[in-house]
């Protein structure tokens, strides 16, 4: 018996050591894979940043020299500033329209017995599943008789189609995880439905509402296909201006704008991460 124990003891040590060694190898492999995927995703985007500080006349990598020349060109350019303002205004309008239409729809789907609920959810997903160019051409012929092409209102209405799924689906998912007992307790204590919605539901749902608002804003602010079909010379958005710059000029100003948009998107994602943590704590 003692001989068996003496033989089994070293073998057990080898098994434990091998298991820990395999775990370590797996961790290294997974970490390396994640790092490679992140590098694959970020490398093309981060390449724009040094190009924005180029002293050359055209976009090229590596830059021939370093300069803030094109940042000054961007801030002094009326056309770029106007395009930035138009994109911002259209994105704000899109966010408002999407919230006004999407939040009631999400509440109805999550809280009411809506007929053909699955079919409705499929319809809401169509704008992001169908090719954007097909929707853009259809909207162009739909908006033309109403003189909405070339207007900020028409573009905001078009962008609302893309922003509605961004509002509806996360809100429905959040409402399904919502603890309705809090609302029932408020109603049992004599609060009206409107007061319960304002004092109980809305504050707890605020992280979700802010999250979908930011996503709606970014969806509109970054969209270019609808802008190519539905805007005119007086309503050129920033993405369309970038597209025209890449097509005709190839100046590093495009890299400057792309860097600014990258910074805005990064700040937005940080805000969304914070809101997601807060929503997880509330729900």
Q: State the pLDDT at residue 283.
A: 53
65: left (phi over 0), alpha (psi -120 to 50) or beta: beta
Q: State the pLDDT at residue 239.
A: 87
pTM: predicted TM-score of the whole model, two decimal places: 0.78
CA distance 187 to 199: 12
| DSSP 8-state code for residue 189 | T
CA distance 52 to 82: 20
Q: State the pLDDT at residue 124.
A: 84
CA distance 74 to 89: 19
CA distance 102 to 37: 34
Residues of the chain with pLDDT under 50: 1-2, 4-5, 9
| DSSP 8-state code for residue 68 | S
CATH architecture of 69-282: Orthogonal Bundle (1.10)
Within 10 A of 221 (CB to CB), how many other CB atoms are there?
23
Q: State the pLDDT at residue 129.
A: 83
Q: What is the CA radius of gyration of the chain?
A: 26
Q: State the pLDDT at residue 98.
A: 94
């Amino acid at each position: 018996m003692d001989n068996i124990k003496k033989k089994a003891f070293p073998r057990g040590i080898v098994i434990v050591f091998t298991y820990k060694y395999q775990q370590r190898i797996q961790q290294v492999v997974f970490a390396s894979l994640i790092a490679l995927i992140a590098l694959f995703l970020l490398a093309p985007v981060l390449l724009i940043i040094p190009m924005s500080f180029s002293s050359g006349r055209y976009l090229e990598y590596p830059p021939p020299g370093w300069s803030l020349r094109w940042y000054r060109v961007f801030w002094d350019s009326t056309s770029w500033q106007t395009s930035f303002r138009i994109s911002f205004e259209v994105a704000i309008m899109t966010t408002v329209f999407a919230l006004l239409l999407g939040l009631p729809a999400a509440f109805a789907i999550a809280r009411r017995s809506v007929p053909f609920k699955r079919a409705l959810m499929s319809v809401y997903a169509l704008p992001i599943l169908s090719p954007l160019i097909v929707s853009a051409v259809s909207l162009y012929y739909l908006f033309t008789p109403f003189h909405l092409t070339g207007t900020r209102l028409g573009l905001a209405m078009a962008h609302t189609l893309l922003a509605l799924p961004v509002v509806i689906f996360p809100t429905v998912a959040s409402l399904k995880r919502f603890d309705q007992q809090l609302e029932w307790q408020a109603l049992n204590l004599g609060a009206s439905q409107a007061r319960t919605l304002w004092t109980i539901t809305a504050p707890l749902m605020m992280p979700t509402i802010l999250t979908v608002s930011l996503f709606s804003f970014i969806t509109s602010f970054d969209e270019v296909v609808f802008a190519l079909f539905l805007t005119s010379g007086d309503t050129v958005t920033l993405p369309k201006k970038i597209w025209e710059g890449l097509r005709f000029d190839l100046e590093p100003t495009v890299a400057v704008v792309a860097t600014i948009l990258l910074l805005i998107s990064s700040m937005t994602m940080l805000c969304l991460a914070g809101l997601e943590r807060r929503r997880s704590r509330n729900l």
